[in-house]
Amino acid sequence: IIILGIESSCDDTSAAVIKDGVLLSNVTASQAVHEAYGGVVPELASRAHQQNIVPVVSEALKRAGVSKDELSAVAFTRGPGLMGSLLVGVSFAKGFARALGIPMVEVNHLQGHVLAHFIKEPDEVHASPKFPFLCLLVSGGNSQIIRVNAYNDMEVLGQTIDDAAGEAIDKCSKVMGLGYPGGPIIDKLARQGNPKAYTFSKPHIPGYAYSFSGLKTSFLYSLRDWMKDDPDFIEHHKVDLAASLEHTIVDILMEKLRKAVKDTGINEVAVAGGVSANNGLRNAFREHAAKYGWNIYIPKFGYTTDNAAMIAMTGYFKYQDKDFCTIDKPAYSRVSIK
């Protein structure tokens, strides 16, 4: 079984090839065009996808050493994401599959992030989470705790009621005048700072829900106050601010996750999505594994942010279930994982 995966939900155009569950290639073109705007500009993203999609797919097939006639199916991200971006990948995937006379498999982008844990590289000894497991999905658009019963059976236990964790980091980084996306920049600065230097307000909401908009406001107002005395406050305390912000976010995320582990009795715990690239969060996972005996699963850096390998992997599972889709299925911008 050879699956071509295509991802175009936000600002990365990506294609990957998976053969019998093993990843042969994963090619991603990122879009630098958005940096100047401090965020993704949907119309520009869509146009860049149009330019990138053909060369990215060709390169993925080339690196995999697979010709298009050998493909079993084309898997593509149907949603959620930016409509204009999704349309490029969805249209390409449908046209390509139809021209080759092979099935198409639609993939939920969030399910893809979770199943990134099953991506296997050639000759890799890979420990994947065992079902049922809990997955903390933290990305630019989502922060949720998911109970994963099977590849195709996921249940959201709780999610953010406002901003996502990645969104909060990106916004705070913008307030500090740092670049976009803020996640990797904050991560780098945080490694040199004191995580206990400042405290910011944490939400008090019930259940497994998250909230990050209050933190963003608390961060902004604190900065304003401090800058009254020292206009260059940010410059002087950049690393401590980054470390304290990261520490607060990681604390909020882990507190609810601990609760979910305790309540469900499931101690197979994974993390996924762009924010799982964060070193502070990764360290917190390792500490929890040591302290509470969790079996933890942290994805490789390359499979944290958007990539087509996770889409091809999900497509591979769905292909085995003969879970194909018809050409009339439109892209969707918003939908839950289940």
Binding site for ligand ATP (CB under 6 A): 9-10, 81, 109, 113, 139-142, 166, 169-170, 181-184, 187, 273-275, 277-278, 305-306
Q: Are 33 and 48 in contact (CB under 8 A)?
A: yes
- Residue 137 known to bind ligand: yes
Q: Are 309 and 16 in contact (CB under 8 A)?
A: yes
User: Quick one: 72 or 144, whose CB is closer to ligand ATP?
Assistant: 144
- Residue 34 known to bind ligand: no
User: Quick one: 129 or 299, whose CB is closer to ligand ATP?
Assistant: 299
Look at strands 143-150 and 133-138 and give their pairing.
antiparallel
First to last CA, the chain: 26
- Residue 211 known to bind ligand: no
CB of 322 to ligand ATP, least distance (A): 27
Sequence-ordered list of residues with C-beta below 8 angstroms from that of 169, at least 6 positions apart, any chain: 182, 183, 186, 245, 246, 249, 275
User: Quick one: 11 or 306, whose CB is closer to Fe ion?
Assistant: 306
CA–CA distance, 233 with 223 (Å, rounded to integer)? 8
Measured from each CB, the residue nearest to ligand ATP is 274
The conformation of residue 160, written as its DSSP 8-state character, comes to B
Scan residues 272-331 and list those touching Fe ion (CB under 5 A). 306
Q: Are 225 and 110 in contact (CB under 8 A)?
A: no
- Residue 302 known to bind ligand: no
Q: Are 102 and 38 in contact (CB under 8 A)?
A: no
DSSP string covering 116-158: GGG-B-TT----PPPSSEEEEEE-SS-EEEEEEEETTEEEEEE
Q: List the single partner that 272 binds among Fe ion, ligand ATP, none, CB under 5 to 8 Å by kind.
A: none
User: Quick one: 106 or 187, whose CB is closer to ligand ATP?
Assistant: 187
- Residue 280 known to bind ligand: no
**H/E stretch holding 278:** none
CB of 10 to ligand ATP, least distance (A): 4
Q: List the single partner that 81 binds among Fe ion, ligand ATP, none, CB under 5 to 8 Å by kind.
A: ligand ATP
- Residue 14 known to bind ligand: no
CB of 57 to ligand ATP, least distance (A): 20
DSSP string covering 72-90: -EEEEEEESS-HHHHHHHH
Does the protein bind Fe ion through residue 7 (CB under 5 A)?
no
> What's the half-sphere exposure (Cβ side, CA atoms, 13 Å) at 338?
17
Q: Residues 105-144: x/- map of binding to Fe ion (CB under 5 A)? A: ----------------------------------x-----
User: Quick one: 187 or 268, whose CB is closer to ligand ATP?
Assistant: 187
Q: List the single partner that 170 binds among Fe ion, ligand ATP, none, CB under 5 to 8 Å by kind.
A: ligand ATP
- Residue 187 known to bind ligand: yes
The conformation of residue 295, written as its DSSP 8-state character, comes to E
CA–CA distance, 52 with 96 (Å, rounded to integer)? 15
User: Quick one: 98 or 188, whose CB is closer to ligand ATP?
Assistant: 188
Q: List the single partner that 158 binds among Fe ion, ligand ATP, none, CB under 5 to 8 Å by kind.
A: none
Q: At what angle do helices 279-292 and 182-190 cross, to 10 degrees?
A: 60
User: Quick one: 81 or 103, whose CB is closer to Fe ion?
Assistant: 81
CB of 225 to ligand ATP, least distance (A): 25
CA–CA distance, 46 with 277 (Å, rounded to integer)? 25
- Residue 244 known to bind ligand: no
Residues annotated as binding site for Fe cation? 109, 113, 306
Residues annotated as binding site for substrate? 137-141, 170, 183, 187, 278
**Which positions touch Fe ion (CB under 5 A)?**
139, 306
